[in-house]
């Protein structure tokens, strides 16, 4: 028996596929995980026992820095949100919900703007360059190289409405993929019977997560953010939190609100603040006992 440290790249039917250096081992989780109601997730860093002539086992799971229920993944580093300048037109509310969820979970949001040959990216850049979030307009090979560097040694999830250019972007990141539109899932090895399963796929010195959860924007539907936590999910708000006239300030139209003042001065995007208000109005209706 030998022990190794590795990462779970796929899980199907109670079997987990763990990458160790350049090898993949099929493993079962030890009974102690089931007893403690712990389910190993794709992205987990684990210790395994390789038992020659017997079943390989996952012995321990390193503490996660984050995890999601749907899609079931752990330890995501980057959420790369692809937005097109034209059809489909950017839905800033959906984008801001995704960014908020990423911030809440300690995932770094990165905005990649596509189709700038068809329309200027100025509108999108005007909204997001004030946030402190990395914004990349794909104009040249230098921009592709920048995305590659951000992905290296990271677990990366891509999201964006159908038609925004995720396939084109992935082909530029790794031309050996040679994907055609709608072919991403097949190329990454996800068959018809595992369409709800997350999987890690090596690319650009890191991993991407291939899962329908991100491609269909499920992420923003299942993560609840309380109203008191929401302002911290807008990173451009953070320097003003605690500076308002009243400690109970909701940062909507409150008297003496420093965030509202920053919006008026153009330091915070009006669009971002309006979407914060929309999300806050939903969050304030959440009953604590339902959480």
List, for residues 43-66, the tens digit of each pLDDT value.
Answer: 999 999 999 888 999 999 999 999
Q: Domain map of the chain by residue range?
A: 2-63, 73-219, 224-290
Eight-class DSSP state of 54: S
- CATH architecture, domain defined by 2-63: Beta Barrel (2.40)
- pTM score, whole prediction: 0.86
HSE toward the beta carbon, residue 83, CA cutoff 13 A: 30
pLDDT at site 201? 86
β-pairing verdict for 108-114 and 78-84? parallel
Q: Which fold has domain 73-219?
A: Rossmann fold (3.40.50)
Under CATH, to which class is 224-290 assigned?
mainly alpha
CA dihedral 68, 71, 77, 78 (to 10 degrees): -130
pLDDT(182) > 80:
no
List, for residues 83-136, the tens digit of each pLDDT value.
Answer: 988 877 888 998 999 999 999 999 999 999 988 888 989 989 989 988 999 999
Separation of alpha carbons 152 and 188, rounded Å: 18
Looking at the DSSP assignment, which residues form a beta bridge with residue 202?
207
Separation of alpha carbons 197 and 19, rounded Å: 17
Cβ–Cβ < 8 Å for 136, 110: yes
Select the more confidently predicted residue: 161 or 275: 275
Backbone angles phi, psi at 19, to 5 degrees: -90, 125
The count of other CB atoms within 10 Å of the CB of residue 282 is 13
Task: Provide the total of helices (H) and of strands (E) in the chain, helices listed first.
Answer: 10, 13
């Amino acid at each position: 028996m030998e022990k190794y440290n590795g990462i779970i790249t796929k899980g199907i039917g109670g079997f987990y596929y763990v990458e160790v250096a350049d090898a993949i081992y099929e493993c079962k989780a030890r009974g102690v995980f089931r007893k403690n109601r712990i389910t190993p997730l794709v992205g987990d860093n684990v210790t395994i026992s390789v038992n020659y002539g017997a079943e390989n086992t996952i012995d321990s799971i390193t503490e996660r820095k984050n995890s999601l229920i749907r899609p079931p993944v752990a330890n995501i580093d980057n959420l790369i949100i692809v937005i097109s300048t034209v059809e489909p037109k950017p839905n800033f509310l959906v984008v801001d919900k995704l960014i908020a969820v990423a911030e809440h979970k300690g995932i770094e949001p990165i905005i990649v703007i596509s189709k700038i040959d068809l329309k200027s990216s100025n509108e999108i850049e005007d909204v997001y360059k004030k946030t402190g979030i990395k914004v990349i307009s794909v104009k040249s090979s230098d921009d592709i190289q920048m995305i590659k560097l951000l992905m290296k040694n990271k677990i990366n999830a891509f999201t964006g409405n159908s038609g925004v250019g995720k396939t084109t972007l992935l082909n530029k990141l790794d031309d050996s993929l040679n994907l055609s539109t709608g072919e991403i899932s097949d190329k990454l090895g996800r068959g018809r019977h595992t369409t709800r399963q997350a999987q890690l796929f090596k690319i650009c010195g890191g991993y991407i997560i291939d899962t329908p959860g991100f491609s269909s924007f499920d992420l923003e539907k299942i993560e609840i953010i309380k109203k008191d936590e929401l302002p911290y999910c807008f990173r451009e708000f953070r320097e003003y939190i605690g500076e308002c006239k009243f400690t109970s300030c909701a940062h909507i139209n409150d008297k003496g609100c420093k965030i509202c003042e920053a919006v008026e001065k153009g330091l915070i995007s009006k669009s971002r603040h309006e979407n914060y208000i929309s999300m806050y109005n939903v969050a304030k209706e959440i009953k604590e006992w339902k959480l």
